[in-house]
Structure 1
Amino acid sequence: MSMQYIRQRYAVPAKRGARIRYTGMGENKVGSIVSAVRGAHLKVRFDDGTFGYFHPTWEIEYLDAAK
């Protein structure tokens, strides 16, 4: 899936480089979107160097959109 598809389908401001906060499973991690991956998920690189794959509306706060 493409980033454009994710933006349109889920009405989120997802784009490469956008800053997000993930709060699922008791975590509170901040990172940047790297890409869109199969299954309409986002690949995120967190500030601690780890990666994660997430549905664009599940426990994700788009920090750039809050400005």
Structure 2
Amino acid sequence: MTENLRAVEAWVGGLLARLQPAQRRALNRKVAQDLRRSQAQRIAVSTRRMERRTRRARSARICTGRRTE
């Protein structure tokens, strides 16, 4: 696994070295935007799951007559 990662790192490093500074900035910007978008989607999914669990737990407490409020 480590060897594969090093090979990819060397290959990408060679490609990045050939880019002009403006091209490198544009590529960095695109990677950062894609990363932010994917993280936002991941967080949204996680938040929805947590909200569903909370609603179910609250509903179960109300149905059983146990109130924590």
TM-score normalised by the shorter chain: which range applies?
Answer: under 0.3
More strand by share: 1
**Looking at CA atoms only, which structure, 1 or 2, has the larger radius of gyration?**
2
TM-score (norm 2): 0.16
More helix by share: 2
